[in-house]
Amino acid sequence: MPESQHKQPTIIVRAEILLEQSLLVVKRSAGKTRPEEWELPGGKIDAGETLEEALMRELREEVNCSVLHAQYRGSFNSLQDHALIIVFSVTIDSADDIKLSEEHSEFAWISKDTVSDYELTSDFKTYIQNRLNTKFNDDNKSTKESKTLHIYTDGGSRGNPGPSATGYVVYDDNGTLIDSGGSYLGVTTNNQAEYQALLEAAKKSHEFSPEKIIFSLDSQLVVNQMTGKYKIKNKDLWPVHEAIVETLRGIDVNYTYVPREKNKEADAMVNQVLDARK
């Protein structure tokens, strides 16, 4: 992520709540935009909230449920809301006590056999149909068997040096999001943050025993230094560079530069970590 700050996208969290082979959806009230359409429960993040805090608040407010467990499922850009939608797979305390707020008029548990009966928002129509055509208990089957990982990383510093954080997202060979993360680094430089993000993702990759990893990041400097095209002149970056090389030893690794707009998910993770520290 470049040193200068740029306009951050609106971030919306949504919950994928499963009951056996059915998925919880809620119907937008008549007074809302796009009334009578069905969607996953959730909403916008308030200032200072983490993704998980926003998710828990929204589910309390919208469906009167408490979150027992939440796992990052995936994200995509919403053309309707001009926002980044982040979806969590959620386990709630009870499916028997659902109570809706005024934002929604009905709720339903839909299956792949009944999904066509519901007018889903365009943002979620394809997503929900794809999920309902998947055997939920086999979601992670391909994860451990994937031979190639596609990992997007980003690091950012507000001030350079300034408060810094990392972010990464991991996809398997089928394009399924299987992991993500990020951490606060304290005060450091933008280049250090980019390198630390790469190191964190490299360490995380060992959980999936890949034969090959394709890293994509929006720092041309780091890509060119990791591929040996540029020399590393900053002595503070050498230890991190060597740690990355050692961590990935024995794995076929490729480093690819992508423009910022192709790295939005990792970028969003960085900004979310930094915003949570305000």
Rounded to an integer, what distance in angstroms lies between the CA atom of residue 87 and that of residue 73? 5
Hey, is 65 helix, strand or coil?
A: coil
Contact predicate 223/254, CB 8 Å: no
Cα R_g (the chain), whole angstroms? 20
Q: Is it the case that residue 18 has pLDDT exceeding 90? A: no
The verdict on whether omega for the bond into residue 41 sits within 30 degrees of 0, i.e. cis, is: no
Q: What's the mean pLDDT in 148-161?
A: 96
| Residues in Cβ contact with 137 at an 8 Å cutoff, skipping those fewer than 6 apart | none
Q: What's the mean pLDDT in 154-163?
A: 96
User: Nearest-CA neighbor of 202 among 170, 225, 234?
Assistant: 170
Please state, as a whole number, how many other Cβ atoms lie within 10 Å of the Cβ of residue 211: 11
Q: Which two tokens stand for residue 247?
A: 């961590």
Residue 260 burial (C-beta neighbours within 10 Å; 0-12, 13-18, 19+):
middle
pLDDT tens digit sequence for 87-119: 888 888 888 889 999 999 999 999 988 988 999
Q: Is it the case that residue 135 has pLDDT exceeding 50? A: no
Q: What's the mean pLDDT in 46-75?
A: 88
Res. 148 pLDDT band, cuts 50 70 90:
very high
Rounded to an integer, what distance in angstroms lies between the CA atom of residue 75 and that of residue 45? 14
| This model's pTM is above 0.85 | no
User: Nearest-CA neighbor of 11 among 39, 45, 54, 59?
Assistant: 45
The beta strand positions in the chain, using DSSP E, are: 10-19, 22-28, 38-39, 42-44, 67-78, 83-92, 104-110, 148-157, 162-171, 177-181, 184-188, 212-217, 252-257
State the average pLDDT for the chain. Answer: 87
Contact predicate 145/233, CB 8 Å: no
Question: What pLDDT, on a 0 to 100 scale, did the predictor assign at position 25?
Answer: 96
**What single string gives the DSSP state of each residue in 180-211?**
EE--EEEEE-HHHHHHHHHHHHHHHHGGG--S
Contact predicate 100/61, CB 8 Å: no
Domains by residue range for the chain, with CATH? 10-138 (3.90.79.10), 144-276 (3.30.420.10)
Contact predicate 48/275, CB 8 Å: yes
Question: What pLDDT, on a 0 to 100 scale, did the predictor assign at position 22?
Answer: 87
Contact predicate 39/125, CB 8 Å: no
